[in-house]
Structure 1
Amino acid sequence: MREWNAVVTVHEGGFTEARRLLEQHGPVAKSDFFNILLMRATDPFQVLAALHGQFADNRAIATCISRFMPMERLFTFQSAAEFEQRCRHEVLSFIPRLVDSRFHVRMHRRGFKGKLSSMDEERFLDEFLLQQLAEAGTSGKITFDDPDAVIALETVGTQGGLSLFTKAQLAQFPLLHLD
């Protein structure tokens, strides 16, 4: 699926059930990576809320879906350099939401092994965002202890996605599993 806007990690043995649950909300496709589904939803954040709303009544969600990650910003890339260029461009939209906040970037990489390092790319984007905040005359701080926001960066092959989640959203939606 080339036009996904949600990445779903499923528990071992939960593939069929997860797909059945998710297909109620939009097209779902198997990826080239173990236990990873890709989804295209009209509003993937609404799907996250719907799954959370069903969570207490439908234990099948917890037994088949390990993680549901909706994406705000999507991009493609062919090299590590292009990946960093596209990330810088896309993450700029988050600057107004990061003013005077404590945050960090969390990356889940699938593919590009040996070409992209999740830790290096997280650090790269953290530093880029701090620089952009300083240039805008505002502040921000990188922290992993009780952050105000976490920026999720997902890659599946040569496609990437970014989302920003607030502390309240992280507490509200356990299916995000960012840290």
Structure 2
Amino acid sequence: MKDWNVVITVHEGKFREAFNLLEPFGQVGKSEFFNVLVMKADDIQKMMKTLLWRISEKPAILSIVARIMPVSQTFNFHKPEEFEEKAREVVKYWIPALSGKGFHVRMHRRGFKGRLSTLKEEQFLDNYLIESLEKRKASGHITFTEPDFIIDIETVAQRAGLSLWSKEDLEGYPFLKLD
């Protein structure tokens, strides 16, 4: 599936159960990576709220899926430089929300091994955001201890998805698991 907006990490041996759990929310497909599914959710907010309710009724659902990560923006890339350019274009719209806040970038990379460094890209975007805030004469700081926001980057081969999650989102949805 090329046009996904959700990346799911499945516990080993739970693919069929994960498909059954997620299919009501949209098209689910296998990726080329071990225990990773991708999905095109029809309505991400509805999916998240329904899954939250189902997990509250049946916590064992979390033994099927390790994490479910919806993304709000996606793009394809072919080179690390193209990834960085497109990622900057996405995150620049989140700069106002980060003003005066603690945050960090977290990347979960699948594929592009040896060409795209998770740590380098996290630091690249952290630095870009701090510099952008400073240019606006706004504050903001990188923190890994109780951040106000986390910017999540999911890559599956040469497609990336990004999303911005608040502390409240992370506390409210047990399947996000960013750090």
Alignment of 1:43-54 (within 5 A): 43-54=43-54
Deviations 1:83-115 (A, max 9, x none): 111111111111111111000000000000000
Residue 141 of structure 1 deviates from its aligned partner by 0.2
Identity %: 47
- Which blocks of at least 5 consecutive residues in structure 2 are unaligned? none
Contact residue 45 and residue 70 of structure 1 kept, 8 A = no
Partner in structure 1 of residue 82 of structure 2 = 82
Relative to the length of structure 1, the TM-score reads 0.97
Residue 46 of structure 1 deviates from its aligned partner by 2.6
Contact residue 27 and residue 41 of structure 1 kept, 8 A = yes
Q: In the aligned structure 2, how far is the partner of 1:61 from the partner of 1:29?
A: 19
Q: AA paired with 1:73?
A: Q
Partner in structure 2 of residue 148 of structure 1 = 148
Q: AA paired with 1:132?
A: S
Contact residue 48 and residue 68 of structure 1 kept, 8 A = no
For the residue of structure 1 that corresponds to 2:74, the secondary structure is strand
Alignment of 1:10-159 (within 5 A): 10-159=10-159
Q: Does 1:169 align with 2:179?
A: no
Deviations 1:57-77 (A, max 9, x none): 224421211100000111110
Q: AA paired with 1:20?
A: N
Contact residue 100 and residue 139 of structure 1 kept, 8 A = yes
- Which blocks of at least 5 consecutive residues in structure 1 are unaligned? none
Relative to the length of structure 2, the TM-score reads 0.97
Q: In the aligned structure 1, how far is the partner of 2:82 from the partner of 2:31?
A: 22
For the residue of structure 2 that corresponds to 1:40, the secondary structure is strand
Q: AA paired with 1:142?
A: I
Q: In the aligned structure 2, how far is the partner of 1:7 from the partner of 1:113?
A: 18
User: Which one is further off, 104-113 or 56-65?
Assistant: 56-65
Q: AA paired with 2:33?
A: F
For the residue of structure 1 that corresponds to 2:2, the secondary structure is coil
For the residue of structure 2 that corresponds to 1:138, the secondary structure is coil
Q: How much is the aligned-residue C-alpha RMSD, in angstroms?
A: 0.9
Q: In the aligned structure 2, how far is the partner of 1:48 from the partner of 1:122?
A: 26
> How many matched pairs?
179
Q: In the aligned structure 1, how far is the partner of 2:46 from the partner of 2:167?
A: 18
